[in-house]
A = this chain, B = another copy of it.
Amino acid sequence: MNFASDNTGPAHPKVIEAVLKANEGYALPYGADPFNELASARVREVFEAPDAAVYFVATGTAANALILATLTEPWQRIFCHEASHIEEDECGAPEFFGSGVKLTLIDGPDAKMDPNALRHSVASVGTKSVHNVQRGPVSITQVTECGAVHSLEEIGALTAVAHEFGLPVHMDGARFANAQVALGCSAADMTWRQGVDAVSFGGTKNGCMAVEAVVFFKPDHAWEFELRRKRSAQLWSKHRYLSAQMDAYLRDDLWLEMARSANAMGQKLADGLSNMSHADIKHTPDANMIFASLPRGAHRRAVNGGASYYMTHEALEGGHEIDPITCRLVTNWATTEEDVDCFLDLLS
């Protein structure tokens, strides 16, 4: 019953198997391995984007920070939700990779930027000629940090604001698969068809060991990106172990299958909690991450029964006084029906 994060779960056996197979014999380093071309082709196919520039890195923070540095001049700002991963959980990686860019925080429910708040913010900054930090890209987190999924319309409303001002759009898709499955759309629908320019396409959280694809739909910045990747120590010498993971991940829709399972378990969990009078679900649990408030007593029973998950900061710090507490529960491809049932039993 581990709901701590989708990064606490194992990699899928098929991913491990692919790494094992990629280990046979010799392969050229630094992305010249045969798996790289195979895996890149799969990514382009998934996105119906034959001209896309595709690269692999080992962490989601690397994908985000490298893409954003490529899209942002040092004297520009990135517009993102105040709860976004790039603001909250990357120790300033966007600022570091971007040589001192600024993040401008937009509010909105469920960790989705409100398009009007975004428009207001974009309109009101960068207006003092050289005196203030200029406008730069808009970054959308899909699935959001609150477990909600932007609808296609919601994505389109944000990209519309960006385009009004001529700004590029990045999508942090650390949980891309979970979002796509939740929407039942295609990868293209969720990205370039809505005006997204570049995507951090996550693999790690959804059953890989450590691999994220970087996708630029227009390859203008390709060479710059390659230099940035190397310079930031993100280019693997034995690159085949990255490519092989992504190759297996996308083969035979394994990635969607895993996301479907994780989301189904998330839904089951949300349904179970909804039926409990003493549990209260926060945000819209669209995919595989649920925030719920629980009485401390139920929480204690769950933990004593072997469940593992994070509480929000307030609950951690507040000691025994805060009751109920808010918990974050994340399912992954390996979460079983038994895990969920057992956890719900402990709570009730």
Contacts and interface: CB of A to CB of B under 8 A. Distances in A.
A237 interface: yes
Interface stretch (A92-100, A137-145, A282-290): A92-100
A98 B8 CA distance: 32
B7 A29 contact: yes
Given A8-B29, A11-B23, A16-B23, A204 B89 contact: no
Contacts of A98: 100
B59 A90 contact: no
A194 interface: no
Contacts of A24: 10
Contact of A238 (B7, B89, B124, B226): B7
Contacts of A58: 58, 210, 236
A133 B133 CA distance: 20
Nearest to A317: B127
Interface string A75-89: 100000000000011
A62 interface: yes
Nearest to A8: B26
Contacts of A4: 26, 28-29
A303 interface: no
Nearest to A314: B124
A313 interface: yes
A4 to B, nearest CB: 7
A7 B233 contact: no
A112 interface: no
Nearest to A105: B105
Contact of A89 (B96, B124, B132): B132
B204 A90 contact: no
A20 interface: yes
Contacts of A5: 29, 237
B59 A236 contact: yes
Given A26-B10, A100-B99, A313-B124, A75 B92 contact: yes
Given A5-B29, A59-B235, A91 B209 contact: no
A151 interface: no
Interface string A156-176: 000000000000000000000
Given A7-B238, A100-B96, A100-B99, A26 B227 contact: no
